[in-house]
Structure 1
Amino acid sequence: MGSAVGLCSSPRAWGCDWNIARLLCFAAISWVLMTQMEVGAWTYHYGDKSDYSWEVARNFCRSFYTDLVAIQNQREIAYLNSVLPHHSTYYWIGIRKINKVWTWVGTSKALTKEAENWASREPNNKGRNQDCVEMYIKRKEDAGKWNDERCQKKKRALCYQASCQSSSCSQRGDCIETIGNYTCDCYPGFYGPECEHVVRCKNLDPGPDCSHPLGEYSYNSTCKFQCQEGFELQGLDMLQCLESGNWTAEAPECAAVKCPALATPGRGGLNCTHWHGDFTYNSTCAFSCEMGFVRNGSETLECTALGQWTGLPPLCEAIKCPVLDSLSRGQLNCSHWHGDFMYNSTCAFSCETGFVRIGLETLECTALGQWTGSPPLCEAVKCPVLATPSRGQLNCTHWHGDFTYNSTCAFSCETGFVRNGSETLECTALGQWTGRPPRCEAVKCPVLDPPDRGQLNCTHWHGDFTYNSTCAFSCETGFVRNGSETLECTALGQWTGRPPRCEAVKCPVLDSPGRGQLNCTHWHGDFTYNSTCAFSCEMGFVRNGSEMLECTALGQWSDSPPHCGAIKCPVLDSPDRGQLNCTHWHGDFTYNSTCAFSCETGFVRNGSEILECTALGQWTGRPPRCEVMRCPKLRGLEPILMNCSHPLGSFSYGSVCRFHCTQGYFLNGTSRVQCQPDAHWSDKMPTCQEEAAPYFKQVLLYMGGGAVALVALLLTGMLIALLIKRLSDKEEEKTLLNPTSDLGVTGVFTNATFDSNL
């Protein structure tokens, strides 16, 4: 713990910023809670209180121990999974993705395929940037396996203290940590528990120049071999002691340098002396030739230390005559017995076709190296001289003299003229030309005809429709030229363009009007000069414009195209106390428009519900009216008094009637009825019944004074009830009369009954 506290006094020792240093110092001070497992010289350390990001966890491990743990084998994985406690966030280990490669950070070595210990379907880089590795300890699934995670996540640090030192394995091998110890993986050429021994090779015979960096004739010793002048090594000149204890090859030997074997020359002899073997270093050979032949080369050759003769082997050659060349425009045919143009060679001369020989036909090479005569000559055959044709040119090529064998003469004509005859004549071996000289005639163009509906006017300089002829075209009234006005016959026998056509003047294309038809007559093509078009409209539509148009010579129609407009019916209005709903197919109140009529509540339609605008511009009927609904008339008969208001007509929808009785009668039934939208009153008409006072008087006289008090009491109660009812009726009457007073309608109380004859 002393080292951890010392680092906290100087947080920059962590190699990170102040905040991370403070966090690591806090973790270091709390390391008293760390659990340590030690197996021999290799120790594991893990925290059981705090979680860190991967970088912080590694800085911690490197400050107090060696580094985050580096997993070396399955045995180590099994050991860690068995002794470490389970923790929900698991443990960071020393692997990280560097440049997209999983790397052991302690050794900077890439993770090999054989050493991978990933959990199933890992690494998956889920969520991206999962560049660090955690180890599942005592997990229900994939225990001891690895998973890639984001380096910022917080997990427990799993550290190790290495047992390997810089002096381990004698610095001649890799120190490999094991549980409880380390082993040495010796480099090639070394062996032993600490790689302290060096592999040896067998001793070599004295003579070579050797170097022994690790001991006499040991691993990496090298020996160089060389031979005296004239001798060469048979094998490698340098041997090295390999890690297997063997030399790179067998020791070489020295053998005399060899020269190429020599053969006896043709028409000669060979005599050699050999000191170290046939045709080897210091061998000498002497050459000689038969009579009639001379040696060409050195008389004696010697084999040098470089394996080469002191010169080329000589040849025995026959005596030569001067070399003869083939005749110009002739052939040379020789027979050589001892070589080209040697003694006894014979040569025959002949001339090519079209040439004749001047001189001897055959020559022979004598023993003095001279020919029996001078070589002959070959001269070309001649043809008659040719003249230049009229309106043309003559261009000749003379290979052997003017107008001689193989002379070729090409004939050409001036521009606009064509050759009648062969283009080229050649002088044959018989002194005759291959044909007659040609003539130059004017080029012809195809004969032109006047265009239909047009005229043709031509000028001919060298004959009808020949080179330089010009033809002008024109068209009749109402037709226009499609093409060039003037054509000229070119030197290629073609006109400067295609003959024009006289096409009828075009007017703009007409379309059938909407809801109409178009019927055209075309004399010279669709919508062209003299075309006539008649317009008509469908039923229910009327033409607006000219019925007939004609295409003029100016390419314009005689009038603007008409259009078909829908026939209109008279405009309809909504009925009083009703609504109007129309569908416009071709415009407001036009052909095929339909209008539906409806009435407000309390009113009924008198007439057709739907009207349609016909092709004659008339509706299918008269517009309907909305008439108010009427209830049965009421008639009052005494003692009933009736007062009615009629806002929309006598006893019609909305009419209200109120009822009262004359004195001595009371109302039996409703005091008010109203005419409803269905032409029914809201209630039955009431009746008036006679009051009961006279009856009570007779009872009192009969019963005497004892009953007077009781009757008086009953009568008083009835009067109070009638008074309350009368007051209530008057208040209701005021309420009902207020609306009708606004309409200016008043009623009078009359004796009333229902008029069933309404």
Structure 2
Amino acid sequence: MWALGSCGVCCLGIAVFTCGVVMQVGAWTYYYSEEDYEWDDARTYCQTFFTDLVAIQNKEEIEYLNRTLPYHGKYYWIGIRKLRGIWTWVGTKKALTKEAANWATGEPNNRKFNQDCVEIYIKRSSEAGKWNDEPCTKKKKKALCYKVSCQPLICGLHGDCVEVIQSYKCECHPGFEGDKCENAVQCPILEPRAAYMNCSHPFGDFRYNSTCTFWCSEGFERRGADELQCLADRQWSAETPTCTAITCPELRAPEHAELNCSHLHGNFAFGSICDFSCQPGFELMGSQSHECMATGNWTGDIPRCKAVTCPVLSAPDHGELHCSHIHGNFTFGSTCDFSCLPGFELMGPVSHECTAMGIWTGDTPQCKAISCSVLSAPEYGEVNCSHIHGNFTFGSTCAFSCQPGFVLMGPQSRECMAKRTWTGDIPRCKAVTCPVLSAPKHGELNCSHLHGNFTFGSICDFSCQSGFELIGPESCECTAMGTWSKSTPQCKAITCPVLGAPEHGELNCSHIHGNFTFGSTCDFSCLPGFELMGPVSHECTAMGTWTGDTPQCKAITCSLLTAPEHGELNCSHVYENFTFGSICDFSCQTGFELIGPQSRECMATGTWTGDTSQCQAISCPVLDAPSHGYLNCSHPHGNFTFNSTCSFSCKEGFIQMGAEMLRCSATGNWTRHPPVCEEDSAAFLKQVLVYTSTSALAAIGLVLSGTLIALLAKQLSDREEKKKLLNPTSDLGAPGIFTNAAYDSTL
């Protein structure tokens, strides 16, 4: 039974305990302190003398405490405290559950500081037995303790001793039963089907905590857990597993196919074999037979049935093809309908169907052109037909014409239509009517009619009054074309032939009775650069002829040019030689230079541009006879010009110093310097000797003679030097430049 002990004032501290306690073995007892403690000290007190602060387990216990404990105004500490924010029973370290809580109204306050310990209201006027949170350091509570009565191993290894009011009981651990929790609970004995099993039994065969593992042979798979454990509720942790044949995906016959299977271990399971076949009109694409393997897969890919293919059809010429395909273009079951374009009719079956053999029903049809009635030529007429698709069939066209003298009445052509009829009405040929003729002005008309007035075959004769001429036929006949055989004549003034402007010319005419008729005058003129050859004006005579000959415009001729003497001429002519537009270029031979224009053009005026060009011999400087000498020249091209040659001679008593002959070269220079005439010293000496031989020679004369001889020798020496200067070489062909500076007064 439960007993309640108390301590009075004689109980000082926690070291002395003299209070009596009534208790029964196998039950626990409650104790309270006479002194007030803080919560921590209250627990120390309880743990020192008893077990711990009271741990309240149910409402029955609360009612017992409220009924048996004395009233204390500051109430009692109990073994609940907030640890890490959770209200916890400190003795068992278990969190307070919501169902076990017994808080007073509005509690816990949770003022968020220090209210971490719990008191119980005992014999309070209101809410007796309820709990309230208080600061743990508040020293106003009595310690409410308990002392356990359960002994170790009283409930064995698999149970816990639980003290209750006036008694205790063994609470067995899960999976155990009996007064002392000595027996493990029994689970049903396992007998797996078609599976292998291996078990371990720590507490007896198929009892609590027995574990069994399961596995299957190849081609089979386990249905259920691979391991089962006997649980405390006498049940296994899962249903007993079984080994079933591994299943492959269920096969279904593909479209238009059939499936035939044999199953050893179940439908579509390991070892099953399925054969595929196709319905008529289809062929199998893929392997025929498949087997379910241990992997759960079928051997090979699933086949399919493909519709048998027929040859591709095309529309017939002039037709159309409309097909409906059930299983694909031009495959088994496809139906194709043939039709023809307007104007054609189908020859052969209207429809084809692709059979299971891959061939089409029926023969290939054709579109044949629809026929129209045969046409014939009308009376007095002809018919000419063109046939595209056959004689007198759709698209055929027939053109109608009439014999000479008749005209077609009705459509000129008819066409065979898609409705087997011809376009238009039947034509006929009627005698041709020509326009009614009347006598021309100033004329007369006389007609004879074979088939009626002015119809085919009528002939009309025309004539004109005096002074007019008949312009047109003298007679006309109405032709089969409905026209007169010739144009209607007129009586008109006599007409001359039509004149045209001559080439490079113009024509200006005045008309009295009409263009180019009697009395008309036409004036001719030419374009610049051309001159009229023939009469300037023509007049149309009563005979229908023009006066004069037909004129022409001829390019104006310039005077004939010739190459200048010692020169050349090169001409280009647009029309004729040396006429308007001709251009002539001039050049000269070596030793001559062009005097005048290098080019001349024949102008529209008949004259050449520029003056006459000449080739003039190149001039050399004019030469003079040397002092005391003579000059003799020959000039083939003019005085002192190219190829002129000049020879020199000296008077008696003088000798020539220099070249004897000079020639004018093509460069305008003389081939040598002109010579000079020097006094002859030998003649002078001869005179001296004559003089000295006379009887008047005196001694002084002898002296003078010696002086003269010396002077003569000096002159001879100087003359030789000058001769070398004037005539460095005697060759006339050697170069030599002659200028006026060559003449020196000292010579």
| TM band (smaller chain) | 0.3 to 0.5
TM-score with structure 1 setting the length: 0.36
TM-score with structure 2 setting the length: 0.37
